[in-house]
């Protein structure tokens, strides 16, 4: 018996065993394996479809968020521009009010200066009249009547008026 040369009986039983094993595996193992592979293929396809849908949804969401972000940036720019404009208007209003108040204070100060000047001039006139009357009384040695006083006062006032 040579190990390299198979005998007819061994070949027969090997073939019968192979065919029997093939039939048993086909009935018992092949169908569950194919069923399991089909199930796995279906699961992978569903996962790929879900992944594709999720990617498309993510792209839509990203585009939407980009639009929202752009709109928010534009709105922020508009708000900043309006705030700057409002600040500029407020500044101009404050400047106008300050100038108006300054002009009012200046006018009031000018009026007060004029009134003080007029009052001082009037006091000087009264004082000069009193001095003139006192000097006249000492020079003449008598008291003047009302008409004489009026005449002297008018002459003094006209002389003071010429000085202004």
Is-above-0.85 flag for pTM? no
> Which uninterrupted H or E stretch holds 95?
helix 31-140
pLDDT of residue 127: 83
In a domain, 8, yes or no: no
- Which residue range is the domain that position 94 belongs to? 30-163
113 within domain boundaries: yes
Number of domains composing the chain: 1
Whole-angstrom CA distances from 11 to 4, 67, 113 are: 13, 77, 142
Domain-embedded: residue 59: yes
Residue 19 lies in a domain: no
- Consecutive 10-residue runs of the chain (164 residues): their mean pLDDT? 70 91 84 88 96 95 94 95 94 93 93 91 81 72 69 76 62
């Amino acid at each position: 018996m040579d190990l390299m040369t198979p005998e007819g009986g061994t070949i027969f039983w090997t073939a019968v065993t192979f065919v029997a094993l093939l039939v048993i595996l086909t009935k018992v193992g092949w169908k569950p394996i194919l069923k399991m592979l089909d199930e796995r293929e279906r699961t992978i396809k569903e996962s790929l479809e879900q992944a594709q849908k999720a990617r498309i949804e993510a792209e839509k969401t990203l585009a939407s968020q980009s639009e929202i972000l752009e709109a928010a940036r534009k709105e922020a720019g508009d708000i900043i521009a309006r705030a700057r404009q409002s600040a500029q208007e407020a500044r101009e209003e404050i400047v106008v009010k300050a100038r108006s108040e300054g002009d009012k204070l200046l006018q009031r100060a000018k009026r007060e200066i004029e009134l003080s000047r007029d009052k001082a001039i009037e006091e000087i006139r009264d004082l000069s009249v009193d001095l003139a009357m006192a000097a006249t009384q000492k020079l003449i040695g008598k008291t003047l009547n009302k008409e004489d006083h009026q005449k002297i006062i008018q002459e003094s006032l006209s002389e003071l008026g010429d000085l202004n």
